Amino acid sequence: MRSLSEVGGLVVFDFDNTLVHSRIDFAGIRADLLDLRSALGLPDADLDALRRLSIGQIIDAGEAQDVRYGPEAWRIVLDYESAGMLAATIEPGAGESLGALRAVGCRLAVLTNNARPATLAALDTFNLRAMFDLVLTRDEVPMKPDPTGIVQARAELASDGGRAVMVGDSWLDGAAARAAGVPFVAFRPRADSIEERGVPCWTVVERLEELPALLAGPWPSAPEGLAD
């Protein structure tokens, strides 16, 4: 095991329900997005299957059927995000844990499906923005489970081939990590969502304060790989 003074590596963090809790009503978003399909007269679809998709995937599916769907759908999402951010709280130990990781040489990135203005506002509210070397939102990269954000973070912050890991609470984070070929640390996930979707997980942590000691040990080289 490396000492805590020489951990290094890239840690990519999910944002909502990992670093902060924005109180975004995701169930409400999905319900309104499905209602929008009816309002625009889109063809019938398997609503249960749509509910299992990410919000970005629901919007992509609607927009593929009617170009009017996308702009109105994103307006709905932004309204919910703005309301959720007003009641945001910080995850206990977030600032201390990020500081500890930076102190042992880790590069840090945020990768979120939220919009950039809301993300930066919340990071500033809780004095977290300065902790990160890179902030990637849906305004810069495709939404998770697309792995592009992780790939870009690695290219910018670990271009020498250094190790990287994704930390998040959702199957979207795990699926993006798998597609990018990096291990996934699940932070207080809904076990059913992770297991039902067959998302590979290195380990589960219940507190962010667990991360420095965890990352001081061996990292898997890939989601299904052996420890390095």
Q: Which pLDDT belongs to residue 193? A: 81
Q: Which pLDDT belongs to residue 228? A: 37
Q: Which pLDDT belongs to residue 148? A: 98
Neighbours of 126 (CB within 10 A): 16
Q: Which pLDDT belongs to residue 227? A: 35
Q: Which pLDDT belongs to residue 51? A: 86
Q: Across the strands, what pairs with 228?
A: none
Collect the ranges in the chain with pLDDT lower than 50. Answer: 225-228
DSSP per residue over 20-58, as a string?
Answer: EE----HHHHHHHHHHHHHHTTPPP--HHHHHTS-HHHH
Evaluate if pTM is beyond 0.85.
no
10-22+89-215 adopts what CATH topology? Rossmann fold (3.40.50)
Q: Which pLDDT belongs to residue 221? A: 73
Direct distance between the N- and C-terminal alpha carbons of the chain, in angstroms, rounded to an integer: 11
Q: Which pLDDT belongs to residue 47? A: 85
The structural domains of the chain, with segments of one domain joined by +, span: 10-22+89-215, 26-86
